[in-house]
């Protein structure tokens, strides 16, 4: 066996183990390290395999990339991980698309190779612009609500069909350099129009789906360049992203077509009649007393916790309650936050014990026996309307059954609707107390009160 083959086999094995280990918070760090080592072996092997024209360009690219990537990783707060993920996917997809573009103009390939290049370029450029749009929505540079216009789905379908038509024409006759920029423009425009009608509530699914597109683009590039390791890595990325998208859709009880074309997240019309529902609120002192008297507490984090950067204060609250002999667990909904695993990442950053993070299906049977369900910035994932109102936009979506707890306390700035754009029935339940205020400062007040008010 040659050294190159050995490096590629080791890299492929490390990529597979990285995905396996990253499926659990306890082994996620090991998975990241395995992926990094695998990528290093892949790069070394590729440099051995390909004829290198100039190492100066390669070293220069590594230095420029490191100069951008290292500060980005160190300085970007954990609350902005979804935005960083979106921009990283955009860069990866652009790199794949540009390599495909260079290969096209270098040799005007035909047959299967041109087909692989066309698929790579189509997926690469549409993922690039789509990821930029997702970044804009996540970073609130663009409206998080759906942006729609009449006949939008037909326009999108027309753009996609036109791009596919040009791809077929290029496969039949590759030597059409004037047609190629139109193909690229259609792909990029389709990527933009694909994302703008999708609401912020669906961004976790969108990020996973775009990750799948980027992986499939890389796999197609592997076929075009005859690089087996690239095919393996792209297939792993594409399939894992697709599986994750399916899991996210199931967690919301929705289909791909509904996510991509349903414009979910538009503000719903207010109920007729102007009914004013009573809301009970509590001060930090009152909330702390309720927590202190409890035997079991389930903390439910949401995007509001991420915005307030309250995860470290939540850890302090966990420590304060645990010292008093109170059983504390964290209920994590699959689509809480703005990306898959968002809450897990934030709580792990605050060193919350992994065994205290419990998935929805496992924690729901315990809700009815829990003294206090403390909701920190979550909204739609605890809204009973998903079960009680068949006409609700979130009807059928699996939720955390917080309403079953003896006492529900919700930390929230105000009564604003979540990304689904609907009122939350839980706010008005007789066993609910609203704790109005910034999550970080309110939790800090709770910790202070539990420590004796000093």
In this predicted structure, the answer to whether residue 253 has a pLDDT above a threshold of 80 is no
| Residue 388 belongs to some domain of the structure | yes
Residue 36 lies in a domain: no
CA-to-CA distance for 333 and 282, rounded, in angstroms? 26
Active site residue 380: yes
Q: Which pLDDT value is given to residue 203?
A: 74
Identify the pLDDT of residue 329: 95
> pLDDT grade, residue 275 (50/70/90)?
low
Alpha carbons within 13 angstroms on the beta-carbon side of residue 452 total 1
- Cα angle 324, 444, 338 (rounded to 5 degrees) comes to 105
Residue 52 has pLDDT above 80, yes or no: no
Total domains in the chain come to 2
The number of beta carbons lying within 10 Å of the beta carbon of residue 437 is 18
| DSSP letter assigned to residue 273 | T
In a domain, 213, yes or no: yes
Question: Is residue 263 predicted with pLDDT exceeding 70?
Answer: no
Q: Which of 100-114, 144-158, 176-190, 280-294 has the lowest mean pLDDT?
A: 144-158
Does one domain contain both 254 and 311? no
3-state secondary structure of 300: strand
Do residue 223 and residue 372 come from a single domain? no
List the domain range (segments joined by +) for residue 244: 76-261
Same domain, residue pair 251 and 347: no
Give, as one character, the DSSP assignment of residue 78: G
CA distance 364 to 378: 16
In a domain, 149, yes or no: yes
pTM (2 d.p.): 0.76
Rounded alpha-carbon distances, angstroms, from residue 129 to 123, 272, 329, 332: 10, 41, 40, 31
- Domain annotation covers residue 50: no
pLDDT for 385 beyond 70: yes
**Mean model confidence pLDDT for the chain:** 86
Backbone angles phi, psi at 272, to 5 degrees: -75, 140
Residues shown for the chain:
454
Region 429-440 average pLDDT? 92
Domain assignment of residue 38, yes or no: no
**What share of the chain in percent tops pLDDT 70?**
91
Burial of residue 413 (CB within 10 Å: 0-12, 13-18, 19+) is middle
Q: Based on the fold, state whether residues 397 and 291 are members of the same structural domain.
A: yes
Closest CA to 306 of 438, 422, 436: 438
Per-residue confidence at 395, pLDDT binned at 50, 70, 90? Answer: confident
The pLDDT of residue 363 is 94
Tell whether 356 and 292 lie within a shared domain: yes
Q: Which two tokens stand for residue 436?
A: 């109005």
Maximum mean pLDDT: which of 255-259, 272-276, 321-325, 418-422: 321-325
Flag whether pLDDT at 273 surpasses 50.
no
Q: Has residue 85 been placed in a domain?
A: yes
- In this prediction, residues 37-42 reach a mean pLDDT of 93
Is residue 361 classed exposed, middle or buried when 0-12, 13-18 and 19+ CB atoms within 10 A define those classes? exposed
Asked which of 261, 294, 326 is the last residue of a domain, the reply is 261
Both 93 and 218 in a single domain?
A: yes
Catalytic entry in 202, 380, 401, 423: 380
**Model confidence at 419, in pLDDT bands (50, 70, 90)?**
low
Q: Is residue 174 part of a domain?
A: yes
Give CA 249 to chain center in angstroms: 12
Task: Assess contact for 122 and 213: CB atoms under 8 A.
Answer: no
pLDDT digits (tens, 9 = 90+) for 347-371: 888 889 988 999 898 999 999 999 9
270 pLDDT band, cuts 50/70/90, is very low
Please provide the DSSP assignment of 374-431 as one string.
EEES--GGG-THHHH-TTSTTTT-----GGGSSEEEEEESSS---TT----GGGG-TT
How does strand 327-332 pair with strand 357-359? Answer: parallel
Do residues 195 and 342 both lie within one domain? no
User: Considering only 31-35, 143-147, 398-402, which range has the smallest mean pLDDT?
Assistant: 143-147
């Amino acid at each position: 066996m040659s050294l190159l083959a050995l490096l590629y086999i080791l890299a492929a094995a490390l990529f597979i183990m990285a995905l396996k280990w990253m499926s659990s918070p306890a082994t996620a760090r090991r998975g990241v390290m395995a992926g990094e080592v695998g990528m290093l072996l892949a790069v070394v092997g590729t440099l051995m395999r390909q004829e290198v024209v100039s190492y100066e360009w390669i070293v220069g690219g590594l230095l420029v990339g490191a100069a951008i990537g290292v500060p980005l990783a160190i300085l970007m707060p954990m609350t902005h991980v979804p935005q960083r993920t979106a921009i990283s996917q955009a860069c990866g997809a652009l790199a794949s698309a540009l390599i495909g573009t260079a290969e096209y103009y270098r040799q005007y390939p035909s047959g299967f190779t041109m087909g692989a290049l066309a698929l790579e370029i189509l997926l690469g450029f549409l993922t690039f612009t789509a990821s930029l749009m997702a970044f804009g929505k996540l970073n609130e540079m663009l409206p998080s609500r759906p942006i729609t216009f009449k006949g939008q789905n037909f326009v999108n379908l027309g753009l996609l069909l036109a791009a596919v038509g040009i791809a077929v024409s290029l496969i039949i006759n590759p030597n059409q350099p004037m047609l190629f920029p139109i193909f690229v423009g259609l792909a990029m425009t389709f990527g933009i129009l694909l994302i703008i009608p999708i609401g912020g509530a669906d961004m976790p699914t969108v990020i996973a789906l775009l990750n799948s597109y980027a992986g499939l683009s890389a796999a197609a590039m592997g076929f075009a360049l005859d690089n087996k390791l690239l095919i393996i890595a792209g297939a792993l990325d594409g399939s894992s992203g697709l599986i994750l998208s399916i899991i996210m859709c199931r967690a919301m009880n929705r289909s791909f077509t509904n996510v991509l074309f349903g414009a979910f997240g538009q503000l719903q019309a207010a109920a007729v009649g102007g009914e004013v529902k009573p809301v009970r609120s509590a001060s930090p002192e009152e909330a702390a007393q309720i927590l202190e008297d409890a035997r079991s507490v389930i903390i439910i984090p949401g995007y509001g916790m991420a915005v307030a950067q309250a995860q470290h204060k939540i850890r302090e609250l966990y420590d304060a309650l645990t010292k008093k002999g109170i059983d504390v667990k964290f209920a994590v909904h699959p689509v809480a936050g703005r990306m898959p695993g968002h809450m897990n990442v934030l709580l792990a950053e605050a060193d919350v014990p992994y065994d205290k993070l419990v998935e929805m299906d496992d924690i729901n049977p315990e809700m009815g026996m829990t003294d206090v369900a403390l909701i920190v910035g979550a909204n739609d994932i605890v809204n009973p309307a998903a079960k009680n109102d068949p006409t609700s936009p979130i009807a059928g979506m699996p939720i955390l059954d917080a309403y079953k707890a003896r006492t529900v306390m919700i930390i929230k700035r105000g009564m604003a609707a979540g990304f689904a754009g609907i009122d939350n029935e839980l706010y008005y339940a007789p066993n609910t107390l609203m704790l109005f205020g910034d999550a970080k400062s309110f939790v800090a007040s709770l910790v202070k009160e539990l420590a004796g008010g000093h």
